[in-house]
Structure 1
Amino acid sequence: MRGKEILKWLFVLGFIGGISGVLLLGGVFAYFSTQVPDFRSLADYRPSLITKVYSSNGEILGEYARERRVYLPITDIPQDLINAFLAAEDTSFYEHHGYDMKGILRAALVNVFTDRKQGASTITQQVAKTFLLSNERTYKRKIKELILARRIEDAFSKNEILELYLNQIYLGNGAYGVGAAALAYFGKSVDELTVGERAMLAGLPKAPSSYNPVYRPAVARQRRDIVVRRMETEGFITKEQADEAVASDLVLRLTPMANGEKAPFFAEHVRRELLDRYGENALYEGGLATLTTLDMELQRHAEKAVQTGLRSYDRRHGWRGPVGRLTALTLDWQNRIKDEAEKYRHLQDFAVPAAVLEVSDAAATIGLENGTRAQIPLAGMTWARKYIDATTMGDRVRKASDVLQAGDIVFVQRMDKNEGFEKVPDREKKYSLEQLPAVQGALVAIDVATGAVKAMVGGFDSSSDFNRAVQAKRQVGSAFKPFVYAAALEQGYTPASIILDAPVVLRSGDLDDAWKPQNYSAKVYGPSTMRLGLEKSRNLMTIRLAQDIGIRKIIDFASRFGFDRADMHPNLATALGASSLSLLDLTAGYRVFANGGVYSKPYLIERIQDATGQVIWQHHPVCSSCTGLDATPTQSPPSAEEEGERLVTPEIAYQMTDMLRGVVLRGTGMRARAVGRPVGGKTGTTNDYIDAWFEGYSPTLATGVWVGFDQPQPMGNSETGSRAALPIWVEFMQNALKNRPKADFTIPEGVTFARIDAVTGKPPTANTTQTLLEVFIKGTEPTTGSLATGRVLGKRGSDGNTEEPANLLSQGIY
C-alpha cells in the first residue's frame, strides 16, 4: 500500500504541477499578448526599394537606396528557389501554424544537454522578428515572437508570408531579399540561378557574415553543400542534381550597385533634381524609375573628346613630374602599384599607374599592376619637356633619363590606344608616358528640337563632384558676342550694316582710368560689315555696336535667353563677354538660334515612375513634331516654359545662324569645318587666356565646350577658344553626327538672299572685286547696283557649307 500511496501522490502532484504549468504558461502568453506590436501593419508593407536612373536607351546610370532590394511578387520567385529556403530554414513550413513545437523541444534539449546552440525559428517567426521585433536574445522577445507568429498565420496565407520573408531577409553583401542577392552575387535574375547558387543563397539567412562567399568562400561552400543535401533529403532535387551541385565550383559574378560610373556628372545632377523634387525618403526608399534624356553613345563620345582635348593641352605645356616615389624598389613596387591602380580604376581607359624600374638612354622599363614588365621607348616621352610655367618649358628631351629615374611612379598607356605612335614597331606591347591633366574642361550637348540634354561632361574625371558644366560660372569672352549682334538685328541692323573698326577710348572721369579695348590682333580695320565683325570677333566693332544699341537693351535682350540678369553688369565690357555664365545656360542660349528663335529650358528627365510603375511625372516635348511618351496622367501639368517661348523671329534666328556659319567658314572657328556638316559657332577667349570656349550647333545638336583651371589662372599664350576648346567640339560633333542623315538649316519664308559687295556691304558695282551672297529679312535687302565681275564669295558646296577661294581665307578681306 505504501508504494501505491506514493505513486498516487506523485500522480496528483504531477497533475497539479502540469495544470499549474499550463495555467502559468497561459498567463504568461496572455500577459505578453497585450504587449506585442500590431501585426496588421504587415498588410501595408512598403519595402525600401532602389531608385534607378536610366539613360534614354535603358542603361542604368545610377542606383540610390538605403537597402539594396529588388521586390518580387511570390509569383515571380521560382518554386525551386523557395524550396531551397524551405530546406535550409523551415522544412515543415506548410504543416505548422506559426511555430514548430517539435523543433522547439528538440532545440531546448540540445541547448540544455550540449555545448551547441540550436535555433528553432520558423520562417513565420523570422518574419515576426524581422518586421515587428528587435534582435535582443531574451525569453520575452521569444514569447512575443511565438504569439505574433500564430497571429500572422491566422491573418496571412503561406504565400503571403513567403513573399514578405523572401523580399525582406538580409543575405549579406548589402543585399536584401532574393532578387537583390541574385544580382549582387551572381549578376543574374532569380529564374537564372543554378541548384548550387540557389542553395548558397538559402544558406545565408542563418549567418550572412559567417557564410559570406566573398570573404569566406570555403565556409560558404560547406554551408551550400549542407543545404544541397537537405534539398535532396526533402525530395526537392534528385541525387544526380545534388551530386552535380556539390561538385561544382562556387563561382561569383559580383555586381555592385551602379553608383554613377557611367555619366557621373549627369547622374549626379539627376539625383539632386530627384532629391529636390521628392525628398530623401522617396529617393532612397521609394523605388523610383527615372528615364533620362542621356544618349549613352553620345556620352561616350563626349567623355573621350574631353579627355583627348585636355590631354593635348596638357602635353603642350610639359611634364610636371612623377606622381610618387618608391621607397623600397625591389620589395614593394607591385603592392604599391596595385594600390595606385585601385585608386585610379575609373581612369584605366585613359592611363594606368606603373613603377619605373630601370632607365637607359633609349627607354624606361616599367612594372605594371599584373606584375609584368614593359617599356616606354623614347618616342613615348619626347613630349615631356619640363613644365616651368604656363608659357615656359625646359629643354628638349633627348634621352629617357632626362625625364624619368628608377623609383618613379607614373601614369602610362599602351601606344596602340593613342594616336601619334602608328610608326612605332610593336606599339601594342609598348607604352607612352602620360600624366593626369591639371586643367579642366566641360561639354554639354542639347537636342535642338526638344531641349533634351543628350550628353554632359563636368570635368576630366569623376574624382570631384563639382560639375563644371552646370555649377561653374565663368567669363564667356567673345562667345557672348552673338547675343549682341542678335540684339542689333532686332534693332534693324542687317549683316551688311557697316560698323567702324577704329580705336575706342572710354573714360570714367580720370584719364589714367581710361579703358582702351583692342582687337585680338591689336590692329584696326576701318569700316567693315557687321558679319565680318562677328566672323573675325572684332572687339572694337562690338563695342561701337553696343554703344549704339545701349548696354541695358543688350542685357534685357540676353536675359530672355535664360541668362541671369545679375550676372550681366551694365557696362560695355559685358558686350565683350565679361559676364560669367554656366556652360549649360550658354549652350541653351545658342540652341535658340538653331531652333528658329524658340527657347525652352534644357531638361534631363523624360519620365519618373513610382514603384508600382505609375507615371508620376513626365516631361512634355516642346515641338509638335516630336514623338513623345504615352499620354499618361502626370503629377504636374506642363509649365509655360515647357511649351517653348519665342525669343526672336525665325528670320533673325536664321540670320544669326548664317553669320555663325560664316565664323566657321572664314573666321575664328575655321577648324570646325572639319565636321563636314553645316554648322555654326563662335569661339570665346577671356583676358590672359584664362577661359576658352566654343559654342556651336548643327541643325539637330547644340554643343558647348569650356576649358580652364578650377582656380582661374592663365592657360598660356595662344590658348584661345579656337585652340583649347574647339578641337574637343570638333571631335565630339564628328562622332555625334557620323550616323545621322545630313541636313541643312531650314530657311524661313521671311528671308531672302542678295549679292552684295563683301567689303562695303552695298550692292555690287563695276569696281567690286569680291561679292557675298548675304541673307536679309525681306524688304531690307539692297535693290540697286550691278553684278560684280570679281571673285564671288558664297557659293554653296556639296556638304552644305560655303566654299571660299583658299587664298582669300588669309587676306582678311571679305
Structure 2
Amino acid sequence: MSEARRKAAPARKASKPGRVKRHWALRVLGWLLALGFLGIIAGTAAFFIIYQRTEIPDVNKEFEANTTTVKFADGAQLGRFYDQNRTSVPLKQIPKRVQDAILAAEDRTFWTNPGISPTGMARAAFNIAKGEQLQGGSTITQQYVKIMYLNQDRTASRKFKELFIATKLSRQQDKSETLEGYLNTIYFGEGAYGVSAAGQAYFKTPDPNKLTVPQAAFLATVLNNPTLFDIDNKANHKRILERYRYVLDGMRLSGTITEADQTKFAKALPKINKPEKNNKYRGPKGFLLDMVKKELLRRGYTENQITSGGYTVVATFDSKEQQKMVNAAENELPKKRDGLHVGMAAVKPGTGRLIAMYGGPDYLKSQLNWATSKARPGSSFKPFAVAAALQDGWTMGTQLQGNSPIEIQGQELNNEFNHDYGPVGLRMATQESINTAFYDLVDKQMTDGPDKLVTAAEAAGIPKGKYLEDGRNNPSTVLGPDPYASAVDMANAYATFAAGGKQVELHTIKSITDHDGKVIFTDEKLKETQAFPPDLAAQVNDILVDVVKKGTGEGAKDLDRPVAGKTGTAGGVAAEHRAEDKKCNGCLAGGDTLTSWWTGYTPDLSTSVVYRAGKDGESDLDPYSKDDAFFGGNWPLKTWLEYMKTSPSLDGKDTPFADVKETDDFEDPVIPSKTPTSTPSSTPTNTPSGPPTGTPTKTPSNTPSGPPTSTPTKTPTRTPGWPTFTPPGGDPENPENPGGGGQ
C-alpha cells in the first residue's frame, strides 16, 4: 500500500480536569480507608496487648488507712488518731439514697458503663491536642483508680494508665466493690475522706444511715470540688445551690425521690452543723489522749498502726468522772492562782484503771502533765513505811521517838516546827505525821529499813526509777525527799491498800478492737498480784482511817463515808530562793514548800492531788496559803473533796473497809514518863511481838547502815515545817535533790 493511501490515526480527546481530580481523590480516599482500617486493627491489637499486660498495681497505702477512734469507758467519744480522717463502712450500711446522690452527681451510668467514659476520653484528647491541661469528667471507676492506684498528676501518661486500669478493674471487680471503695476514699473537704467522715464533718452524723436526702445531696455536691463548693465562702453559695439542685434532679430521674420531694428539697440547702473546729489535743482531754497513745506504743503498736489501723480503743477514763475532776481542779483553788499547778488522778481499786485525770488546763499550751510528772511525795510516802514495818514484824505497839530532833547518821532531823510528841506508837506517828518517829522506825529500828521501804512502795505500785532505787540507801527516804512518784502513781499505790493488798498494773486502755470488729486486747487479762496480805492491808487502812478521824486529814470527814488517806508536803529551796541560799551556804534549806499532797481513798475509789508552783513546779507554795505552810490537809484536801463528793463512782455507795484482825499490842502503848534520848540503845525497849503470821526475819537493830554521807546543814533562818536533811549528793540548786519532807 502506498504511503498516500494510508489513513491517519484518529486524534485522542483531551481529558477533563475534574475527572482527573476525582480519580486521584478516590485513590487517596481508598488508601486512607485502608490505612484507617489497618490502624483500627493495629490499635485494637495494641489495646488488647496493653490491656493484657496491664496489671492492677498495689493500692496506695494511705487510702487503706482508717481513723483509730478512742472512746471513754462509758461510750462517749474521747478523740481520734489519724493521718487521714477516714472511717470505712460496708456498702450495705450506706443507704440507697446516699449511693444514688453520689451517682447522680458523679456518674449516672455507673452500673452500665465499662468503667470508662468515651466522652471523657474525647474531651481529654481534644484538650491534649490544644495543649491544655487534662480535665475531669471521669467515671467513678476512673476516679477510684486514680485515688487507689495512681496519683493526682494531670498528665497524658497517667490518664492513659487510668483508662486501662479502670477498664480492667471494671471487668474483674464487682461494681458494688468499686462503689464501696469509692465512697470510703473520696475527699469531701473539711479533712474528711469517705462518706462517714464527711457526715461527721458537715452534720455531726458519722452514720450514713442517719443522713437525710438533702444532706446526702449536699455531700454529693461538695465532693465534686471541695474548694469550689466550700460552704464557708459565701461567694460560693449560688453555685453550690445550682449543683445541689442538679444532684436532686438526678435522684428524681433515677427514681430515688419523687418530683414533689425534689421541689421541696430544692428550695434551700440543708442546715450545716459542723463540729467545733479544734485540735484533738485541745484542753484537759489532750492529756488523756496522749496517755492512751503512749500506752498503745508501749504495748507494741507503731505510729502508723495507731493513725491508720482503724482500731476502736476503749479507754479506762469515764467521761462523767473526768468532767467532775476538771471542775474540781479548775474551781476549788486558792484565790491566788497565777503560776499554781494542780495534778489529780483517780483509780478504781483492784483494777488498775485510771478513770479520771487532770494534767493541766490545755495540752496545746503546755504538754507538761502535772498528774504524771514525778514529784517529791513528802510524808505521803509514810504509809509504805507502815506496810514495810508490818511486813518486817513490827506492830502497832512499837515505841518510836516522837521528840525533835533525832540524830540519823550524824544529822539532826526534826519535826514540823520542832514539835515534841514523846514516845509514840506507829498509829499515832502516822496520824500526826511525826517525822522523827518514822526516822526512828526506818533508819534505826528496822534493819535495812530504807531498802524495805522502797520494796514496799514498788510492791504497792510506785514505778521503779533511779531516784527511788537510790532511796534504798538514803536515810531520809521515808519522807520522800526526791521525785519518787506522781499523782497517778500515788492514786494507784494507795488503791492497792484499798483493794485488800491486790495490785494491778496502772493502765488507761480497757479494750482494743480491730477494723474487722475482733477484740484483740482487754484489760481483764492483766495480771493481778497480791502485793500485801489482806490482814496487813487492813491494818494499813485502819491506821490511815485514823488520819482522817483525828489526824492531819480531818477535813476528809466531810465526805461522810469511810475514808483513809495521808497528807504530805516536801520542803526544799524554791527556784526563786536558790541564789540567796547559795550565798549563805545553805541557810535556807527546807524553808520552802515545794509540793503539797493529799491522797485519800475509799474501798471504791482512790484519788491523789498534788499542788506545785512555778514554770517547772519548783517555786514556793507558801505564798498561796494563809497557813504557816501550804499543808496537804488544806487546799489539796479541799480540791480532792470537791471531786469525791460529786464522783459517780461513790454515788449511793458507803462501802466499809475490811475488819482488822486485832493483836495483843495493836493499840499505842502507854507512854512512859521517861523521854527516850535521840540515840536509843542497841536493842529496842519494846521488842516487837511480830505480825500475826510470825516473827521478824532479822533482829531489829538501831545501828546505822553506814557512815554519814553528808554534812549537817545549817539551821534555817526561818523555822522550817520539815526536816532540813539533804540527801547524799544533794544540791539545793538542783531541783532533783531537795530537802526533807513534812506533813
Same fold (TM over 0.5): yes
Distance 1:756 1:28, change over 3 A: closer
2:454 corresponds to which of 551, 555, 558:
555
For 1:340, the equivalent position in structure 2 comes to none
The separation in 1 between residues aligned to 2:262 and 2:280, in whole angstroms, is: 38
- The answer as to 2:652 corresponding to 1:740 is yes
> SS where residue 417 of structure 2 aligns?
coil
* Cα deviations by residue, 1:9-43 (Å, 9 ceiling, x for unpaired): 2541331242244245346646754775x327469
Alpha-carbon deviation of 1:163?
1.0
AA of the residue aligned to 1:180 = A
For 1:259, the equivalent position in structure 2 comes to 280
The separation in 2 between residues aligned to 1:755 and 1:283, in whole angstroms, is: 53
- Within a 5 Å distance, the mapping from 1:45-60 to structure 2 comes to 47-60=64-77
Higher relative contact order (CA 8 A, sep 6+): 2
- Within a 5 Å distance, the mapping from 1:262-277 to structure 2 comes to 263-276=285-298, 277=300
- Within a 5 Å distance, the mapping from 1:87-102 to structure 2 comes to 87-102=104-119
Alpha-carbon deviation of 1:535?
0.5
For 2:477, the equivalent position in structure 1 comes to 574
> SS where residue 203 of structure 1 aligns?
helix
Distance 1:536 1:15, change over 3 A: same
> SS where residue 703 of structure 1 aligns?
strand
> SS where residue 247 of structure 1 aligns?
coil
For 2:27, the equivalent position in structure 1 comes to 9
1:209 corresponds to which of 214, 227, 237:
227
For 1:708, the equivalent position in structure 2 comes to 612
- The answer as to 2:307 corresponding to 1:284 is yes
Alpha-carbon deviation of 1:587?
2.1
The separation in 1 between residues aligned to 2:42 and 2:455, in whole angstroms, is: 86
> SS where residue 566 of structure 2 aligns?
strand
Alpha-carbon deviation of 1:589?
1.8
AA of the residue aligned to 1:468 = W
Contact 1:195 1:241 in 2 (8 A): no
More deviation in 265-274 or 733-742? 733-742
2:519 corresponds to which of 608, 615, 628:
615
* Superposition TM-score, scaled by structure 1 size: 0.71
For 2:93, the equivalent position in structure 1 comes to 76
AA of the residue aligned to 1:62 = G
Alpha-carbon deviation of 1:738?
4.7
Distance 1:90 1:460, change over 3 A: closer
> SS where residue 718 of structure 1 aligns?
coil
Contact 1:495 1:659 in 2 (8 A): no
* Cα deviations by residue, 1:206-248 (Å, 9 ceiling, x for unpaired): 3221112233551333321232233334444322222222212
Alpha-carbon deviation of 1:590?
1.3
For 1:138, the equivalent position in structure 2 comes to 155
Distance 1:755 1:719, change over 3 A: closer
More deviation in 155-164 or 516-525? 516-525
Contact 2:569 2:596 in 1 (8 A): yes
Contact 1:669 1:683 in 2 (8 A): yes
For 1:451, the equivalent position in structure 2 comes to 352
* Cα deviations by residue, 1:503-550 (Å, 9 ceiling, x for unpaired): 335376xxxxx5322211322121222211111111111111111113
Contact 1:54 1:289 in 2 (8 A): yes
For 1:306, the equivalent position in structure 2 comes to 329
AA of the residue aligned to 1:130 = I
The separation in 2 between residues aligned to 1:62 and 1:75, in whole angstroms, is: 26
For 2:709, the equivalent position in structure 1 comes to none
- The answer as to 2:633 corresponding to 1:722 is yes
The separation in 1 between residues aligned to 2:112 and 2:68, in whole angstroms, is: 38
The separation in 1 between residues aligned to 2:110 and 2:451, in whole angstroms, is: 79
For 1:536, the equivalent position in structure 2 comes to 432
- Within a 5 Å distance, the mapping from 1:480-629 to structure 2 comes to 480-506=381-407, 515-546=411-442, 547-549=444-446, 550-563=449-462, 564=464, 566-568=466-468, 569=471, 570-580=473-483, 581-620=485-524
- The answer as to 2:642 corresponding to 1:731 is yes
Query: Over aligned residue pairs, what C-alpha RMSD do you find?
Result: 3.1
For 1:665, the equivalent position in structure 2 comes to 549
AA of the residue aligned to 2:148 = F
The separation in 1 between residues aligned to 2:261 and 2:125, in whole angstroms, is: 34
The answer for unaligned runs of 5 or more in structure 1 is 318-435, 509-513, 621-637, 763-775, 781-814
* Cα deviations by residue, 1:550-596 (Å, 9 ceiling, x for unpaired): 33332333333333263232222111221322222222221221111
* Cα deviations by residue, 1:65-113 (Å, 9 ceiling, x for unpaired): 1111121211111111111122211112122212232454467669989
Distance 1:252 1:146, change over 3 A: same
Contact 2:380 2:599 in 1 (8 A): yes
Distance 1:303 1:108, change over 3 A: same
Contact 2:134 2:155 in 1 (8 A): no
Alpha-carbon deviation of 1:460?
3.6
Contact 1:476 1:579 in 2 (8 A): yes
The separation in 1 between residues aligned to 2:60 and 2:458, in whole angstroms, is: 54
The separation in 1 between residues aligned to 2:693 and 2:213, in whole angstroms, is: 81
Distance 1:747 1:258, change over 3 A: farther
Contact 1:29 1:143 in 2 (8 A): no
> SS where residue 476 of structure 2 aligns?
helix
> SS where residue 210 of structure 1 aligns?
coil
- The answer as to 2:378 corresponding to 1:467 is no
- Within a 5 Å distance, the mapping from 1:124-135 to structure 2 comes to 124-135=141-152
- Pick the structure with more strand per residue: 1
Alpha-carbon deviation of 1:192?
2.3
Alpha-carbon deviation of 1:444?
1.0
AA of the residue aligned to 2:430 = L
Contact 2:284 2:359 in 1 (8 A): no
The answer for unaligned runs of 5 or more in structure 2 is 1-18, 572-591, 623-627, 674-689, 695-743
> SS where residue 722 of structure 1 aligns?
coil
Contact 2:342 2:611 in 1 (8 A): yes
For 2:564, the equivalent position in structure 1 comes to 680
1:237 corresponds to which of 245, 252, 257:
257
Alpha-carbon deviation of 1:174?
0.6
Alpha-carbon deviation of 1:727?
0.7
Contact 2:316 2:510 in 1 (8 A): yes
AA of the residue aligned to 2:445 = D
- Within a 5 Å distance, the mapping from 1:305-384 to structure 2 comes to 305-309=328-332, 312-313=333-334, 315=335, 317=336
> SS where residue 138 of structure 2 aligns?
coil
Distance 1:507 1:66, change over 3 A: closer
* Cα deviations by residue, 1:299-347 (Å, 9 ceiling, x for unpaired): 11111111123xx32x1x4xxxxxxxxxxxxxxxxxxxxxxxxxxxxxx
Tell which structure's C-alpha radius of gyration is larger.
Answer: 2
Alpha-carbon deviation of 1:753?
8.7
AA of the residue aligned to 1:69 = R
For 1:419, the equivalent position in structure 2 comes to none
For 2:533, the equivalent position in structure 1 comes to 649
Distance 1:756 1:507, change over 3 A: closer
> SS where residue 553 of structure 1 aligns?
helix
Distance 1:84 1:114, change over 3 A: farther
Contact 1:51 1:286 in 2 (8 A): yes
Contact 1:50 1:287 in 2 (8 A): yes
> SS where residue 369 of structure 2 aligns?
coil
Contact 1:529 1:761 in 2 (8 A): no
Contact 1:196 1:248 in 2 (8 A): no
The separation in 2 between residues aligned to 1:665 and 1:303, in whole angstroms, is: 28
AA of the residue aligned to 1:722 = G
- The answer as to 2:267 corresponding to 1:247 is yes
For 1:121, the equivalent position in structure 2 comes to 138
